Amino acid sequence: MATDRQQKWNATRIPDQTGRTAVVTGANSGIGLRAAQALAEAGAHVVFAVRDPERGEAAARTVHGSTEVRRLDLADLSSVREFAAGWDRPLDLLINNAGVMMVPQQRTADGFEMQFGTNHLGHFALTNLLLPYVTDRVVTVSSGAHRWGDQRIDFDDLNRTSAYDPRGVYGQSKLANLLFVLELQRRLTESGSGVRALAAHPGYSATNLQSHAASAAARAFMKLGNRFLAQDDRAGALPTLYAATQELPGASYVGPDGLGEMRGAPTLVGRSAAASDPAVARRLWTVSEELTGTRFPQGVQTLQGAQTPQGVQKRAT
């Protein structure tokens, strides 16, 4: 049974997106595809930023609306730079959605641990490179996994050259997503920009993300969870869509309103103390700049002026 909030707000309540452009990473499946579908059906032109263009084209054909597909491999910074170099127009909305979860130990093309490199560093670089074009907001998908255990950023071993714990490393990458949003918003505010950085998490949503876990036992457990506990990917996309289209302050974090934030309708939620530490957020930003060779762009405060849909108001610069 839907909650009262779900009855009041769902994907059918998205403001008109006509004239707006959105980039959604990992839009070929799961909550990324559902978010892309909803935005396109509301009138936006949606760019599917995907590692496999063939799969992206197949997914885009399921969407009623204006779409295009561009290749983006977040595990390869040369691909990130190529994608950004090919961008030449205003971008209202960047949704950093793609990710990997609890995969076996492996490295990105640049030698980074795969989960940290894809989930955080790839999106960090992409955002910095596209930010000169962004006119409204950046939404980054995190996870309740940022709270797992005594989760901290291990600055001494970000690439996990020591013991590899797929679960812990995934949680660290999701913590990094929230710290990234915190520091990005601070820099945007300091620069005088009206662009906003927000975060969202889908709760427990049944997608194919869980099928790549390193442990067979973990895969089996999550398969059962997907069947009996999880909400579907349409519901899982609602926090992303809420963060992308509703009037919310910068650095907001949106998740489901149900028990344990596992399922339910989108609402503002809290985050761990570790995800709220501005000093750690600044340190992570500095390290991420060094690792990716990308920087917060100068002059970002001048980037305004794209059409704003009814019900979504931009902040004045």
In whole angstroms, what is the distance from residue 141 CA to residue 166 CA? 19
Which positions are catalytic? 170
List phi, psi (to 5°) of 240: -60, -45
Query: At 271, is the secondary structure helix, strand, or coil?
Result: coil
State the SS3 of the chain.
CCCHHHHHCCHHHCCCCCCCEEEEECCCCHHHHHHHHHHHHCCCEEEEEECCHHHHHHHHCCCCCEEEEEECCCCCHHHHHHHHHCCCCCEEEEEECCCCCCCCCCECCCCCEHHHHHHHHHHHHHHHHHHHHEEEEEEEECCHHHHCCCCCCCCCCCCCCCCCCHHHHHHHHHHHHHHHHHHHHHHHHHHCCCCEEEEECCCCECCHHHHHCCCHHHHHHHHHHHHHCCECHHHHCHHHHHHHHCCCCCCCEEEECCHHHCCCCEEECCCCCHHHCHHHHHHHHHHHHHHHCCCCCCCHHHCCCCCCCCCCCCCCC
On whether the CB atoms of residues 114 and 170 are closer than 8 A, the answer is no
Smallest CA-to-CA distance from 60 within 50, 43, 232, 10 is with 50
Query: Reduced to 3 DSSP states, what percent helix, strand and coil does the chain have, rounded to the nearest 5?
Result: 45, 15, 40
